[in-house]
Structure 1
Amino acid sequence: MSSYLSLGLGLVQTMIVSRALGPELVGQMSLLRQVAVFGAQIGSFGLPMGIIYFINKRKLDRDTVIGSTLIATQLLSLLSSVIVALMLIYADFFGEVNIIIILSVIGFIFFSNSRTVFHSLNIADQDVKRMSLIDVLPTVLCVGILLFLYLYDLLNLNNILFLNIFIWPLIGLILALLIQKNRIKLTFSINVKYLKEAFSYGSQVNLSDFLVLINSSITLFILKYYTSDFTSVGYFSRAISVTTLINTAFISFLRLLYSHWAQLSGIELKKSVERIMNFLVLVSIVGCILIGLFGDWIVLILFGKEFLPATSLVQIIIFGATGFLISKSLLKLFISDGNVKYNLVCLLVGGISNIILSVILIKLYGVKGAGFAQLFSSILMGLTALYIAKSRYGISISRILIPNFSIKNIKNIIKR
């Protein structure tokens, strides 16, 4: 339920922001937000994701894991913040920036990484209620403030970024701290032995996550480079928002899969993957058909008539949405089993193909070329993930791709 509530709130937020800013400023905002996400990824070094692995799989002491991870991520976030701030100040690629934007980006790096450290405990425990609270409540508050400012015509790029990338993770961090304060004992000391293992594991996870970001956002940067136009970036950004609606709806569910599959092995793991993936593919296909048929109306209702040129991009990218969801889900399987190398293979295929195709197709066809690049790279990444799942885990591709319309199967998955 929290996934759908988050999806609904995200749609309301997107509607407000799109109407307040228009295509050009939405394009600039999208690039700045991606810079913040890249900065946070560099600052985390994959350490927060390792918390789930070391607690659930390796059964290490929670306090040691959390304390050491928190200190390490803060130091890394400081280094990342300096690099990102210098880039925003001296590069004109991102348009005009001011102190509010720079502070918002830096705040996101620190707050989101700290939030993820504590939130990982809820994911490790498969505590859906606490996960939902941390995901939903900050969004409710921020959307409420956005709506208030929009109604009084006070929204601009500065306060939108401040709310979405500074206040949102800060509220999430405060909630995560309050939830976990009686469940862990923070020790401000570093366990060197643990950190050596964590950095080894985290370096692979971080590379995986970095490649995920590249695959999902590099097209925006290449599009801006070739067109020198924030408006095209705005259209493409909103087209991606529409075509990833299904993935967004399952974001909390996918996080839970990581922890769930980490506790399974053998035949039990194989059957769980086939059953859950079959359900996800079925829902994704239905969703893609609906979005493909009503894409123009969806764009008009969500973003307004200024964004109608994004409809043609939606019609292109939507055909790769199922492939993207398949790869995103199976990556959770690989990483839950400690096989980060399989993640790297899938993401390298997706990332490299996306970069090459984006450079070639955007140069030839402009913003539509960006849509085709996203389509083909998503399909390639999905096929690669399926091949690895079949060859390394013995998972049946047909049991994933051929829809199972059993009401009992669907009810069991939803219940779990």
Structure 2
Amino acid sequence: MRARNSFAKDSFITITRQFTSILLGMLLLIVLARFLGPSGQGQYTLVILLPQLLMTFMNLGVNTSTIYYVSREEIDVDSAVKNNLYIGVFLSFVSILIGMVIAFFFSDRFFEEASTTFLLLSLIALPFMFLNIYFQTVFQGLQQFGVFNTILIITQLGTLFFVCLFIIVLDYGLTGAVVAFILGHLITTVSIVYILYAKFGFRYEKGAFNLSYFKKSVLFGLKAHISNVMSFLNYRIDLLLLGYFLNPAAVGVYVTAVNIGERISILSQSLSTVLLPRIASVDDERDRNRVTSILTRNFLVFVLLLTIGVFFFADWVIDLLFGVRYEKSSSLLKWLIPGVAALSIDRLLSNDIAGRGKPEVNMYVSLFNVLFNVGLNIYLIPLYGVVGAAVATTTTYILSLIIKIYLYKKVTSSNYRSFLLIQRDDLYLYSNLFKQLKTKMADR
């Protein structure tokens, strides 16, 4: 069942379905923002942050190692799913216990205005979150990106449906939002299991728990895991510190700007999703360098143009979609958008490096980023509030990109010009695409 599509076709499929995911995510964000208000949305963000943190800290990088070993055909699908099932159930159980301790004894530190009841309720989502990410990466390793991205849409669509039902129709407020979060992940798990059985012929009895693979998977995964944990903290540490220094309303205003920025970076995440297994499965160094260089330099131009557009239209977009209660979000988005652009390119280079079997390189950079970001947030938030958090985030992302560019050059022996500046061949490509588009429109 291994896909044989071209990189361009896989990228197109991924980007197309990610656009759908972006639209659904924006609708979800609008509903939450308008019906919960800044304070309610801030509390919701802090509540679901707990299971997200636990899942990120406790997954041991098995999702990344699954992509690597499945793409290299070092384990069959049935065994990969069975191994991930056992690991996911065990780790989710441990995570729930840790989450209960945090909710009962430490919630007043960073989750001060988030109810202990809501924090405990959110932990129900953990088994589904673990299984979803562990099973999804099997499809990514197989380079079945149509299925992989359909699952992402199911999560967004399911959560949006239940949010509309519980918040708009039944008026359950924050309780409805948290329950919708849980049910969105549950629906995803059910859908994945159905797809595994119906389309991929998975049978539980055919798979074997492979202790040797488990050890190898964890050892490889831990290198990427530390990097992933640090990256997640880098993305979310500002929310925790805002919750500590300020209040849920400030978090709600800030997270609106962050979520819009993340919708832009999803485009690079789409390309990275395709890039990681493709680089891992290719042995020719020149081919690896060529694919990443073309992708990075062209996406750099695209994201710079998109960033400029978002900067100038931020005020209008925020006012139209979220209303006057979120007017501060537009200025925050302007501070965040340069960092989002840097993050988009950073993500492409990081997945290339990981695909070459060097996840520890990303790990070292991520450790530095978190320390730098935490220090900057602690200094700037008490002085400048939410603007301080936005400045700290953008500064960290830009510095991280500069470091990653240098390390990518060192790892691949590529020159800076090859992956940062548009080449003459790219201009020919644009010209040919424009001519083809013009011809098709004329034929119509």
Which bin holds the TM-score, normalised by the shorter protein? over 0.9
Aligned pair partner of 2:427 in 383, 406, 412: 406
Q: Deviations over 1:345-383 (max 9, x none)?
A: 221232121111111111222221111100110001111
Equivalent position of 1:97 in the other structure? 115
For the structure 1 residues 235 and 96, does the alpha-carbon distance in structure 2 shift closer, same or farther, using more than 3 Å as the test? closer
Equivalent position of 1:324 in the other structure? 343
For the structure 1 residues 398 and 123, does the alpha-carbon distance in structure 2 shift closer, same or farther, using more than 3 Å as the test? same
Structure 2 residue 186 is the aligned partner of structure 1 residue 170: yes
Aligned pair partner of 2:399 in 373, 380, 399: 380
Q: Deviations over 1:110-156 (max 9, x none)?
A: 10111122211211121122112211133223323333445436151
Contact preservation (8 Å) 1:40, 1:108: no
For 2:32 and 2:432, locate their aligned partners in 1 and report how far apart those are by CA, in whole Å.
36
For 2:46 and 2:34, locate their aligned partners in 1 and report how far apart those are by CA, in whole Å.
18
For 2:364 and 2:119, locate their aligned partners in 1 and report how far apart those are by CA, in whole Å.
35
State the AA in 2 paired with 1:72.
I
SS at structure 2 position matched to 1:406: helix
For 1:100 and 1:31, locate their aligned partners in 2 and report how far apart those are by CA, in whole Å.
10
| Match runs of 1:71-90 below 5 Å | 71-90=86-105
Contact preservation (8 Å) 1:14, 1:302: no
For 2:90 and 2:369, locate their aligned partners in 1 and report how far apart those are by CA, in whole Å.
31
For 1:365 and 1:254, locate their aligned partners in 2 and report how far apart those are by CA, in whole Å.
34
- CA RMSD, Structure 1 to Structure 2 (Å): 2.1
For 1:195 and 1:322, locate their aligned partners in 2 and report how far apart those are by CA, in whole Å.
37
Aligned pair partner of 1:212 in 226, 231, 256: 231
Contact preservation (8 Å) 2:103, 2:119: no
For the structure 1 residues 180 and 22, does the alpha-carbon distance in structure 2 shift closer, same or farther, using more than 3 Å as the test? same
My pick for the range that moved more, 188-197 or 209-218, is 188-197
Structure 2 residue 227 is the aligned partner of structure 1 residue 185: no
Contact preservation (8 Å) 2:55, 2:126: yes
Equivalent position of 1:38 in the other structure? 53
Aligned pair partner of 1:66 in 81, 94, 103: 81
State the AA in 2 paired with 1:52.
I
My pick for the range that moved more, 296-305 or 11-20, is 296-305
My pick for the range that moved more, 67-76 or 3-12, is 67-76
Shift of 1:218: 0.5
Percentage of pairs with the same residue:
20
Q: Deviations over 1:322-362 (max 9, x none)?
A: 21111111111121121011111221232121111111111
Contact preservation (8 Å) 1:68, 1:189: yes
Equivalent position of 1:259 in the other structure? 277
Runs of 5+ unmatched residues, structure 1: none
For the structure 1 residues 192 and 217, does the alpha-carbon distance in structure 2 shift closer, same or farther, using more than 3 Å as the test? same
Shift of 1:89: 2.8
Shift of 1:400: 3.0
Structure 2 residue 352 is the aligned partner of structure 1 residue 336: no
Contact preservation (8 Å) 2:35, 2:168: no
State the AA in 2 paired with 1:36.
P
Contact preservation (8 Å) 1:212, 1:351: yes
For 1:129 and 1:201, locate their aligned partners in 2 and report how far apart those are by CA, in whole Å.
27
For 2:260 and 2:139, locate their aligned partners in 1 and report how far apart those are by CA, in whole Å.
29
Contact preservation (8 Å) 1:222, 1:358: yes
For 1:149 and 1:336, locate their aligned partners in 2 and report how far apart those are by CA, in whole Å.
42
For 1:395 and 1:410, locate their aligned partners in 2 and report how far apart those are by CA, in whole Å.
26
Contact preservation (8 Å) 1:19, 1:303: yes
For 1:284 and 1:366, locate their aligned partners in 2 and report how far apart those are by CA, in whole Å.
28
For 1:243 and 1:386, locate their aligned partners in 2 and report how far apart those are by CA, in whole Å.
22
SS at structure 2 position matched to 1:60: coil
Shift of 1:410: 9.4
Contact preservation (8 Å) 1:51, 1:121: yes
User: Which structure's CA Rg is the greater one?
Assistant: 2
Shift of 1:21: 0.9
Aligned pair partner of 1:233 in 242, 246, 251: 251
Equivalent position of 2:35 in the other structure? 20
Shift of 1:65: 2.9
For 2:261 and 2:372, locate their aligned partners in 1 and report how far apart those are by CA, in whole Å.
19
For 1:410 and 1:369, locate their aligned partners in 2 and report how far apart those are by CA, in whole Å.
43
TM-score scaled by length of structure 2: 0.86
State the AA in 1 paired with 2:427.
S
Equivalent position of 2:372 in the other structure? 353
Shift of 1:384: 1.3
Equivalent position of 1:109 in the other structure? 126
Structure 2 residue 260 is the aligned partner of structure 1 residue 242: yes
For 2:98 and 2:119, locate their aligned partners in 1 and report how far apart those are by CA, in whole Å.
15
For 1:237 and 1:411, locate their aligned partners in 2 and report how far apart those are by CA, in whole Å.
41
Runs of 5+ unmatched residues, structure 2: 1-15, 434-444
Equivalent position of 2:301 in the other structure? 282
For the structure 1 residues 252 and 29, does the alpha-carbon distance in structure 2 shift closer, same or farther, using more than 3 Å as the test? same
